[in-house]
Amino acid sequence: MKSDESCIFCKILSGAIPAQKVMEDEFSLAFLDINPLAKGHALLIPKGHFVTVDEMPAQAAGEMLKNLPALVRAVKKVTACQGVNVLQNNGRVAHQLVQHVHFHIIPRNENDDFRFNWPAGSYPPGEAEALAQAIRKSIV
C-alpha cells in the first residue's frame, strides 16, 4: 500500500509514532484524536496514503468505510453521547491539516462547545436542475 514518509498518519500506521488505537483491520485503522473536540473523538484512516477522499479508488474507500458503523456504535456506547458528527475535511480551505484521508467521529452532547456556521442558502429557479445534471455527467 502507498505510504508517505513525511506523513504523520503513515507514521502512526508504521508504528513510528504511538497512538491510542481502537480498531484495526487489513485496510484501515481508527485511533483517538490527540486533541479531541470531545472525549472519545476518533479518527478512521485508510492504510494506504491518499491525501483527499476523491483520490481514493472505490474499493479502498469501501474497505475503510465498512468499519464506520461499528466504530460509531462503540464510541457512542463508551461515551454515552447524545449524537455524533462524522466529518471529513478535504483541502486546506476545508480545514484539512493532515494530508492523509481521515474521518472524524465526534461525540456530541446538548450544550457542548462545538459549533458550526451552517450558512444554508437556496437556488434560484432552474439552477439546481442544471447543477445536478452537470454533476451527473461528471460522475466517473
Residues that bind ligand 5GP in the complex, under the rule CB under 6 A: 8, 17, 19, 31-35, 89, 95-98
Which of 41, 49, 100, 102 is labelled catalytic? 102
CB 29 within 8 A of CB 23: yes
> Residue 129 Cβ, how far from ligand 5GP at the closest point, in Å?
33
Q: Which of the listed partners (ligand 5GP, Zn ion, none) does 79 bind, with a CB threshold of 5 to 8 Å by partner kind?
A: none
The DSSP element (H or E) to which 79 belongs, if any, is helix 68-79
**Residue among 41, 47, 100, 102 that touches Zn ion (CB under 5 A):** 100
Query: Considering the rule CB under 5 A, would residue 102 count as an interface residue with Zn ion?
Result: no
What is the distance between the alpha carbons of residues 35 and 42, in angstroms, rounded to a whole number? 10
Q: Which is nearer to Zn ion, 51 or 74 (CB)?
A: 51
**Closer to ligand 5GP by Cβ: residue 19 or 60:** 19
A 10 A CB-CB count for 4 gives 15
Q: Does the annotation mark 102 as catalytic?
A: yes
- Residue-by-residue DSSP string for 88-137: ---SGGGT--SSS--EEEEEE-TT-S---------PPTTHHHHHHHHHHH
Instruction: Return the residues of window 19-78 that contact Zn ion according to CB under 5 A.
Output: 49
Q: Is 44 helix (H, G, I), strand (E, B) or coil?
A: strand
Q: What positions carry a catalytic annotation?
A: 102
